[in-house]
């Protein structure tokens, strides 16, 4: 692979591969049909007790995922972001970073 010409699509696998193979290959071409959204998962280790608690709650977790847009476990704030004041909107957006929204279950505006 080193020094070779390489092309890859930007699907889920491509997004992960491109940053790594770019370090080794010659010319790299990225093909994109539809833009996709990628965010760092911020995964961390889960101790045994926490894992047991999560597994014990699988029925509730799966129920919430089945009932939410995008199959997220957290509940959404159904207001449009434009329905709240700029100050409240800014606070909500900043809280996402502080709380690592993908793990925290913080509400997300449905915009």
Q: Does 110 fall in a domain?
A: no
How many domains does the chain contain in total?
Answer: 2
DSSP annotation of 23: T
Residues 73 and 54 in one domain: yes
Instruction: Say what the pTM is.
Output: 0.45
Report pLDDT for 99: 61
**Residues comprising the chain, all counted:** 111
In this structure, the strands spanning 6-9 and 28-31 are parallel
Residue 78 in contact with residue 108, Cβ under 8 Å?
no
The per-residue pLDDT string of the chain (111 residues; one tens digit each, 9 = 90 and over) reads 788 887 877 777 777 788 888 888 888 888 887 777 676 667 788 899 999 999 999 999 999 889 887 787 777 778 888 899 999 988 888 877 666 544 544 455 554
Residues 68 and 29 in one domain: no
Q: Does 24 fall in a domain?
A: yes
**What values do phi and psi take at 27, rounded to 5?**
-60, 140
Residues 53 and 99 in one domain: yes
Q: Does 75 fall in a domain?
A: yes
């Amino acid at each position: 692979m080193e020094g070779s010409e390489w092309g890859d699509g930007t699907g889920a696998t491509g997004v992960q591969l491109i940053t790594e193979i770019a370090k080794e290959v010659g010319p790299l071409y990225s093909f994109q049909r539809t833009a996709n959204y990628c965010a760092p998962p911020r995964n961390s280790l889960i101790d045994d007790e926490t894992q047991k608690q999560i597994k014990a709650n699988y029925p509730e977790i799966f129920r919430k995922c089945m009932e939410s847009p995008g199959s997220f476990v957290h509940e959404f704030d159904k207001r449009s972001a434009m329905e709240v004041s700029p100050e409240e909107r800014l606070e909500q957006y900043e809280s996402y970073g502080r709380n690592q929204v993908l793990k925290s279950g913080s509400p997300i505006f449905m915009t």
